[in-house]
Amino acid sequence: MNRPDLNLLVTLDVLLAEGSVARAARRLRLSPSAMSRALARLRATTGDPLLVRAGRGLVPTPRAVEFQERVRQLVQDGEAVLRPVGKLNLQRHVRTFTLRTSEGFVENFGPALVARIGREAPGVQLRFVQKPNKDSTPLRDGTVDLETGVIAPAMSPELRALALFRDRLIGVVRKGHPLSKGKITPARYASGRHICVSREPNQDPVDAALAMVALRREIAVSLVAGFSTALTLARTSDLIASVPERHTGKLRAGMFSFVLPVTLAEFTVSMVWHPRLDADPGHRWLRGLVRDVCAAVH
pTM of structure = 0.66
Q: Check: CB of residue 170 under 8 Å from CB of residue 251.
A: no
pLDDT tens per residue, range 99-135: 999 878 898 899 999 999 999 999 999 999 988 777 8
Assigned CATH class of 7-82 = mainly alpha
Domain over 90-167+268-296 is classified CATH 3.40.190.10: yes
Give residue 216's pLDDT band: very low, low, confident or very high (50, 70, 90).
very high
CATH topology of 90-167+268-296 equal to that of 169-265? yes
DSSP states of 169-180 as a string? Answer: EEEEE-TT-GGG
Sign of CA dihedral 19, 73, 87, 288: positive
**Sequence spans of domains, the chain:** 7-82, 90-167+268-296, 169-265
Q: Helices (DSSP H) in the chain: which residue ranges?
A: 7-18, 21-28, 32-46, 62-82, 105-120, 137-141, 186-191, 205-212, 227-235, 281-296
- Is 297's pLDDT higher than 90? no
Domain over 169-265 is classified CATH 3.30.1330.10: no
